[in-house]
Amino acid sequence: MEVLEQASDGTVLVTHRNTMGLLLVQLDGLKGLKEWTGLSYPDVYEVKVKQDQFYVRRIWDKKNRKK
């Protein structure tokens, strides 16, 4: 959370699936094994901070991947 809080506009953060899952639990209330296993590889989320509130939007999912 500290890294995300210190990131400036346009910063890209890259992490592993488990770490991202834990971060999403803090930011967006991602709960349980079902949601965690729903993360794709790769997966991309946009996180915006406005007035100390985090807004999370998934911008990548399995249908976006090229086969």
pLDDT(8) > 80? no
Residues 10-30 have pLDDT tens digits of 888 888 888 888 888 888 887
pLDDT at 28: 80
- Whether this prediction's pTM lies above 0.95 is answered by no
pLDDT category, 61, cuts 50, 70, 90? low
pLDDT(39) > 60? yes
Contact present, 37 and 62 (Cβ < 8 Å): no
* Nearest CA-CA partner of 3 in 17, 44, 11, 30: 11
